[in-house]
């Protein structure tokens, strides 16, 4: 038998028995459909659904987006009243501590004495000016011109002295109070009480 006859016989036998290397069309179509359906189902799932949901830990405190705590609104009226009373007591305590620290400073005491001198001098000049004006009014046309001029000069002088005292207070005394007040505001309640007690002991020793 020639080679051509052998190849032809093998081809006829393969045709009669079926090609073992050929995949069935139906199976191939079913597999392709399953693959497409599974792929389409996977893409439809969002990333958020793919991740497992977790609950917040018990020790974690959830805070609103605003970040503000509304503690006073959750208090009762009695608690709010007690809180306001405590705040007033702390404010009074801070004021007393501020005055105590200022009185312990020699430069502040000297500045206050000078300011009082300006104030007293201004008041005295104002009283003298009013007395002179009353004399001028009582004398009428017989009042000397020098007395009227003196009353005017004394009144102007009183205003000048008072204004100088106000400027001195604003330039010298006010910065001292501001510095001490800032220092006292940073103190804790316990430290405020200790400062008051220390001042009371110093007064008792004196």
Angle value at C-alpha 119, between 114 and 124, nearest 5 degrees = 125
The answer to whether position 112 is within a domain reads yes
Is residue 164 domain-resident? yes
CA torsion 170→171→172→176, rounded to 10°?
Answer: 70
Whether 185 is in a domain gets the answer yes
In a domain? residue 34:
no
In a domain, 17, yes or no: no
Question: What is the count of structural domains for the chain?
Answer: 1
135 close to 127: Cβ distance less than 8 angstroms: no
**Token pair in block for residue 148:** 């009227």
Q: What domain range includes position 150?
A: 106-190
pLDDT tens for the chain, 206 residues long, are 555 565 566 567 656 555 544 444 444 445 444 545 444 444 444 444 444 444 444 333 444 444 444 466 677 888 888 888 888 888 888 988 888 889 889 999 999 999 999 999 999 999 999 999 998 888 887 878 888 899 999 999 999 999 999 999 999 999 999 999 999 988 888 888 888 888 777 776 66
Q: Closest Cα partner for 171 from 115, 105, 123, 133?
A: 115
Domain for residue 77, yes or no? no
All residues at 6 or more sequence positions from 177 whose CB lies less than 8 Å from its CB, including other chains? 98, 102
Does a structural domain hold residue 153?
A: yes
Does 143 fall in a domain? yes
């Amino acid at each position: 038998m020639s080679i051509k006859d052998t190849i032809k016989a093998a081809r006829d036998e393969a045709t009669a028995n079926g090609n073992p290397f050929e995949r069935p069309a139906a199976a191939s179509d079913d597999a392709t459909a399953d693959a497409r359906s599974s792929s389409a189902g996977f893409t439809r799932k969002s990333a958020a659904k793919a991740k497992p949901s977790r609950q917040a830990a018990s020790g974690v405190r959830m805070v609103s987006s605003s970040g503000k705590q509304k503690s006073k609104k959750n208090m009762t009226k009695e608690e709010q009243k007690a809180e306001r009373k405590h705040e007033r007591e702390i404010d009074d305590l801070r004021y007393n501590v501020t005055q105590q620290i200022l009185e312990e400073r020699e430069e502040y005491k000297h500045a206050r004495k000078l300011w009082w001198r300006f104030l007293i001098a201004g008041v005295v000049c104002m009283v003298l000016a009013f007395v002179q004006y009353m004399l001028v009014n009582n004398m009428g046309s017989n009042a000397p011109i020098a007395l009227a001029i003196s009353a005017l000069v004394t009144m102007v002088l009183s205003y000048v002295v008072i204004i100088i005292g106000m400027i001195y207070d604003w330039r010298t005394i006010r910065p001292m109070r501001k510095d001490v007040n800032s220092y006292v505001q940073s103190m804790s309640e316990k430290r405020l009480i200790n400062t008051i007690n220390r001042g009371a002991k110093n007064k008792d020793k004196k």
